[in-house]
Every structure is written in C-alpha cells, then in structure tokens.
Amino acid sequence: MSDTDYLPSPNDYVRKHVEEYEASGGTRANTLGDSGRPVVIVTTRGQKSGKIRKTPLMRVEHEGSYLAVASMGGAPEHPQWYYNLLADPWSRVQDGPEPVDTRARLITDADEREVWWERAVATFPPYAEYQDKTDRIIPLFVLEPAS
C-alpha cells in the first residue's frame, strides 16, 4: 500500500497531528493534546474513496495487538474509520518510528469485549463517559499484526 494514495484528513487538527507524528518518527505529537496519554496512528483504506486515511487513536496495546475504540467522543454515530475497517480489514499501526501492517477484527464475543473494554478504560478513563452519553454500543476492533 503506497502513501501516494494518501488523502489527508479535512480536519486541520487530525491532519497536523498525523504530519507531526510521522515527520518525527513518533517522538512528537505522540500524545492526546496535553493529556500525556499516548496515541498511535492508525491507517485504513477509505471505503468510498479507496484512498489511504490516517487517524490518531488512543494507544491501547496488549501483547503486540492494538485496540481501536470507535467512540467518537460518545457521538451518536460511528467514526468514518469504523466503516473503512468493516469494508477492508487491512490496517497499519504506527507506534513509534516504524508502522506495522495489521488486520482489524471487530470484537463480537462478549467476554473478549469486556477484557478489551477494561483495558481501554484503564488507558483512557473518558471512554466510560463516552459510552454513558451515547445509545450505541461503542464498537471495538483488535488490530493484530499481519503475518
């Protein structure tokens, strides 16, 4: 997958965050604002455009797999990247200087979801508030290294 297919986010904050993260090999723009909480850059393929899309997400990692929490701050709708991963599970996670190709898997098992949800809330407590403020169940994807 080539970055020549990359379509930067129309959101200024997201676009600049990704640019700074990548330009520094993950040494800058690697936290959510001033929170000190780490983020990774998740790359997907746009379901409509077919273009490469990049999104900073909270870093929730366990044994080499990452969690993508489709919270959108508790909004009533899913983020666009959720639909991208449903359409094409290919993904890439950049957690530092080198990105790793991954495959996304939507968590459907209740027990597995509970374990990952606890990890997510432990990493970023506002996730619990986001779930409380929306009627939808916030989807979770495990991004597992592609072999």
pTM of the model: 0.94
Question: In 10 A of CB 135, how many CB atoms?
Answer: 6
Confidence class for position 1, pLDDT limits 50, 70, 90: low
Each residue's pLDDT tens digit, 88-145? 999 999 999 999 999 999 999 999 999 999 999 999 999 999 999 999 999 999 999 9
CATH of the domain at 60: 2.30.110.10
- Write the CA distances from 73 to 27, 38, 125, 127, 134, integer angstroms: 25, 17, 12, 8, 9
Query: What's at 85, amino acid-wise?
Result: L
3-state secondary structure the chain: CCHHHECCCCCHHHHHHHHHHHHCCCCCCCECCCCCCEEEEEEEECCCCCCEEEEEEECCEECCEEEEECCHHHCCCCCHHHHHHHHCCEEEEECCCCEEEEEEEECCCHHHHHHHHHHHHHHCCHHHHHHHCCCCCCCEEEEEECC
Count up the domains in the chain and report the number: 1
Domain that holds residue 110: 3-145
Each residue's pLDDT tens digit, 24-44? 999 999 998 888 899 999 999
Confidence class for position 87, pLDDT limits 50, 70, 90: very high
